[in-house]
Copies of this chain bind each other. A is one copy, B any other.
Amino acid sequence: MSILIKNAWIVTQNEKREILQGNIYIEESKIVEIGDVNEEAEYVLNASGKIVMPGLINTHTHVGMTDMRGMADDVNLEEFLMKMWKEEAKRGREEIYKGAKLGIKEMLRTGTTAFVDMYSDEDAIAKAAKELGIRAFLGWAVVDEDITTQEGNPLNNAENFIKEFRNEELITPLIAPHAVYTCNEETLLKAKEIAEKYDTLITMHISETRKEVYEHRKRTGMRPVEWLEKIEFLNSKLIAAHLVWLTLHEIKILAKNGVKASHNPTSNMKLGNGGSMPLPEMLDNGILVTLGTDSTVSNNNLDMFEAMKFAALLHKNERWDASITNAQEILDFATINAAKALELNAGSIEEGRLADLVILNPAPNGLPLRKNTIVSNIVYSLTGLNVEHTIVNGKIVI
């Protein structure tokens, strides 16, 4: 397939963060040329008055739960988990597949071209992802064998899933130990071993709530990140979700080990986790920060535009300082930073990159359209429903 996008405002997210005006030519899965190009193409999209930007990358969600949207609002995390686990016990592969379809449709419609998932039955989610054409990083959830509801051993399930899906074009399997309160040392180290064996990424919830930190310290004498370093679990393949309750010492440990962060501001706020991830200190220490929505049960949507605004405003509010975050750095979290964390040749619009991008109609909530306020409009004004077209791997999926 070849696509020519004409006369667009292009938010490149390249090294210089240039904003260009011109055309983009896509062939097969790649961006081939940007600028004055005038190739013939099978599909020509007129983007005059529109914005083209890299597709957003959601680094933390549980898309199989999408159809449970709104089922546990306005309660704190512990009660939330009780409600969820009770509901989830009633669900099987078919429900998870349906939930995933609903969620992936929402993601594509709202400009997300790639996502990281954590759940069981990721093969059902892979099926939904392949049918709908999204790029999916699917982490099979692992917990200790004595508490799992999965059939069989979670580590074996994860390994089998990785073996089955590791050669797919749009699916990248990974392993997802759930948290320090559901995985013991042996489980965590076995999960890491599997990741090393197949050279996959790892994703895990870390330090989401005070309770988690408090109880882990009571049990081990150490805070979660300190303990994870001690057992030699941390490495640069790990994408840690939440990281709300961290000390500066833990931030330095994460930085030293090259751990990537998935910030989930909307979910953290909605669950009343309190505190808020120490973003400025994490950036100061060189941690690569990306952005996630979490599931529709704790968010309650998968709109990464909204997640960007919540990320920016949460920290301005928390620090009583409007200058503590800025639109450009937040956009980086959701695009180029996430691509780096996922070792993915995307996240920016440059020749040779994968053609994962979206076309936005800025009317009416992102007008006027001016070069020097486009990034501001993307982060602070627009929503996922401003997306008119989503292109993944060179294919128009919306």
Contact = CB atoms under 8 A, between A and B. Distances in A.
A38 to B, nearest CB: 32
Assembly stoichiometry (copies): 2
A206 to B, nearest CB: 19
A66 to B, nearest CB: 8
A368 B102 contact: yes
Interface in A247-297: 266, 268-276, 296
A303 interface: yes
A384 B384 CA distance: 11
Contacts of A365: 106, 109-110, 301-303, 384-385
Interface string A359-379: 000001111101001001100
Nearest to A309: B306
A370 B300 CA distance: 14
A382 B383 CA distance: 10
Contact of A269 (B109, B296, B317, B386): B317
A140 to B, nearest CB: 26
Nearest to A99: B368
Contacts of A382: 301
B76 A322 contact: yes
A71 B381 CA distance: 12
Contact of A320 (B273, B310, B373, B381): B273
A377 B299 CA distance: 10
Contacts of A302: 365
Given A70-B376, A271-B322, A299-B380, A276 B317 contact: yes
Given A275-B320, A322-B80, A313 B383 contact: no
A372 to B, nearest CB: 8
Contacts of A299: 380-381
B319 A377 contact: no
A270 B70 CA distance: 27
Contacts of A71: 373
A325 interface: yes
A82 interface: no
Contacts of A324: 272
B384 A70 contact: no
A228 interface: no
Nearest to A330: B74
A326 interface: yes
Contacts of A270: 312-313, 316, 322, 380
A327 B383 contact: no
A175 B326 CA distance: 36
A175 to B, nearest CB: 29
Contacts of A41: none
A275 B321 CA distance: 11
A220 interface: no
A314 interface: yes
A383 B384 contact: yes
B74 A364 contact: no
23 contacts: A67-B367, A69-B366, A69-B376, A69-B377, A73-B380, A74-B323, A74-B325, A74-B327, A75-B322, A102-B364, A102-B367, A106-B367, A109-B364, A266-B313, A268-B317, A269-B314, A272-B319, A272-B320, A273-B317, A299-B380, A306-B306, A310-B310, A385-B386
Given A270-B312, A274-B317, A300-B380, 8 more contacts: A67-B367, A67-B368, A73-B380, A80-B322, A102-B367, A270-B380, A272-B323, A301-B366
